[in-house]
């Protein structure tokens, strides 16, 4: 290959640069080489460096580039750009790139994608752009994409592929194998042959390994499994993922309300769903908008988090009121003010532990009405045992620190009560929110924190006031 430093040539040294470092991150050297080529509009160099990258690697590269170079990279790659890479980036990054690209390029890019990837790219576009792009796609493919876009967001219908292998029940194994060999329009990857009746309703399925082990004259219905797990097109994607997890599926047929086979859900799409749902729950527990990405602007992130901070501020006045109620006791014994944050902090951590376990159990359907009472007593017992262990340590330290054994006894008793209450709050508040129709992952943190602080301050200051009045 020629070596050149000017646009239009290919620099061999850049081609030898490693894509990722030992931590799996895009190397700064490779990133700099791509940036130089993009800034110089060096099409041969850009294509030599990024044209053959895997979609996941290309997605990571796009996110690592400055915002103003991302759409330019796509344009320079031209037909070498795999639009599947746009399903590997944050929603914000994808939307920014699509806004910069002409609709003609987007239409050309999604035309050869699997239907689920194409739907994911198109779903967030403005309706006008979406319609213009669909008009430039062949009629049969356009109908499939339009049908996929009609399903609710975050449903199995949005995630499914519309390319699958389906045969009538009167076919033999030999006919099915010949069909799979000869039909050029079959999907690139499939793991089962679906059987449908004349009305296209799902009847059963035959895994490929069973098909290949059967003799050619055998009827498909003789080796077909009619109890195959199916997914409703309108089902929530999280419910569909749970079916895959429960039955260890690789793929599952997707049917409409009439039982007609409309698509297939693949395990790679389900992995993405599980990852997205887990990330959303983690963000929700921290009072962060489920849609927030690290690529979002400062203003958007601040605006999405502010409502929860305001609510937290309002709830915090409850704790302040408790402290104010015992202001006389605090003024008479400064040690109370010193030790208050310790009790509140330990109670808050205990509550967070219980809340995290509870919210996760609710999300995975492991926590039900049948076992709720048992798990509630379990969390109460955990809080009591941990409370005793920490109370012994903290009581001894406090008593020695302030040379006041009574103070050690007071804080130990308050901590046991606080830890027990924290366990109950972390368990019962998410359950109560769920039963009233609110998402426990979103709303639990603020209420659990407030309840724990109020209980911690009230138990410690109340015990201290009562004890020292007796003394």
Whether the pLDDT of residue 54 is over 80: the answer is yes
Q: What is the mean pLDDT of the chain?
A: 87
* Residues 6 or more apart in contact with residue 336 via CB below 8 angstroms: 326, 329, 330, 460, 461, 464
Whole-angstrom Cα distance, residue 270 to residue 239?
10
pLDDT at position 92 is 87
Place of tokens 């790679």: 268
Percent of all residues in the chain with a pLDDT value above 90, rounded to a whole number: 49
Helices 127-135, 115-122: crossing angle, 10 deg rounding? 140
Whether the pLDDT of residue 158 is over 80: the answer is yes
Could you confirm whether domain 298-470 is CATH 1.10.357.20? Answer: yes
pTM for the structure as a whole: 0.69
For CATH 3.10.580.10, the residue range(s) in the chain are 166-285
Report the pLDDT averaged over residues 334-347. 87
pLDDT at position 4 is 43
CATH number corresponding to 12-159: 1.25.60.10
Whether the pLDDT of residue 344 is over 60: the answer is yes
For CATH 1.10.357.20, the residue range(s) in the chain are 298-470
Distance of CA 159 to the CA centre of its chain: 14
Whether the pLDDT of residue 5 is over 60: the answer is no
Is residue 185 packed enough to be buried (19+ CB in 10 Å), middle (13-18) or exposed (0-12)?
Answer: exposed
pLDDT at position 290 is 63
Report the pLDDT averaged over residues 326-352. 85
For CATH 1.25.60.10, the residue range(s) in the chain are 12-159
Q: Thinking of the domain 166-285, which architecture would CATH place it in? A: Roll (3.10)
């Amino acid at each position: 290959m020629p070596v050149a430093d000017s646009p239009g040539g290919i620099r061999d040294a850049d081609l030898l640069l490693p894509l990722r470092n030992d931590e799996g991150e895009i190397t700064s050297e490779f990133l700099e080489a791509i940036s130089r080529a993009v800034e110089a509009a060096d099409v041969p160099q850009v294509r030599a460096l990024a044209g053959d990258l895997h979609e996941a690697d290309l997605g990571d590269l796009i996110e690592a580039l400055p915002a103003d170079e991302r759409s330019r990279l796509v344009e320079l790659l031209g037909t070498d750009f795999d639009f599947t890479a746009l399903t590997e980036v944050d929603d914000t990054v994808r939307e920014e790139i699509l806004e910069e690209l002409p609709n003609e390029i987007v239409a050309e890019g999604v035309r050869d994608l699997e239907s689920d990837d194409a739907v994911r790219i198109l779903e967030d576009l403005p309706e006008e752009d979406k319609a213009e792009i669909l008009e430039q796609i062949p009629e049969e493919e356009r109908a499939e994409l339009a049908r996929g876009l009609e399903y609710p967001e975050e449903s199995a219908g949005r995630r499914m592929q519309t390319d699958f292998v389906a045969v009538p029940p009167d076919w033999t194994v030999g006919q099915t194998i010949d069909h799979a060999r000869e039909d050029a329009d079959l999907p690139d990857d499939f793991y089962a042959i679906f059987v449908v009746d004349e009305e296209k309703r799902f009847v059963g399925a035959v895994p490929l390994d069973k098909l290949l082990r059967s003799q050619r004259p055998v009827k498909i219905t003789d080796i077909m499994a009619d109890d195959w797990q199916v997914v409703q097109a309108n089902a929530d994607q999280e419910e569909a993922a749970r079916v895959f997890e429960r039955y260890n599926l690789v793929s599952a047929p997707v049917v409409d309300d009439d039982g007609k086979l409309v698509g297939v859900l693949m395990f790679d799409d389900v992995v993405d769903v599980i990852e997205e749902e887990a990330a959303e729950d983690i963000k929700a527990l921290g009072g962060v908008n489920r849609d927030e990405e690290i690529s979002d602007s400062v203003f958007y992130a601040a605006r999405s988090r502010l409502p929860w901070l305001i609510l937290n501020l309002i709830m915090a006045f409850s704790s302040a009121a408790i402290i104010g109620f015992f202001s006389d006791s605090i003024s008479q014994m400064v040690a109370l003010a010193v030790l208050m944050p310790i009790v509140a902090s330990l109670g808050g951590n205990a509550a967070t532990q219980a809340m995290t376990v509870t919210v996760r159990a609710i999300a995975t359907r492991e926590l039900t009405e049948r076992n709720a009472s048992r798990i509630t007593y379990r969390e109460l017992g955990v809080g009591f045992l941990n409370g005793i262990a920490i109370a012994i340590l903290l009581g001894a330290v406090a008593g020695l620190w302030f040379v006041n054994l009574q103070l050690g006894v007071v804080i130990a008793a308050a901590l046991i009560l606080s830890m027990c209450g924290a366990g109950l709050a972390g368990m019962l508040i998410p359950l109560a929110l769920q039963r009233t129709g609110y998402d426990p992952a979103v709303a639990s943190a603020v209420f659990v924190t407030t309840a724990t602080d109020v209980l911690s301050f009230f138990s410690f200051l109340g015990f201290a006031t009562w004890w020292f009045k007796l003394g």
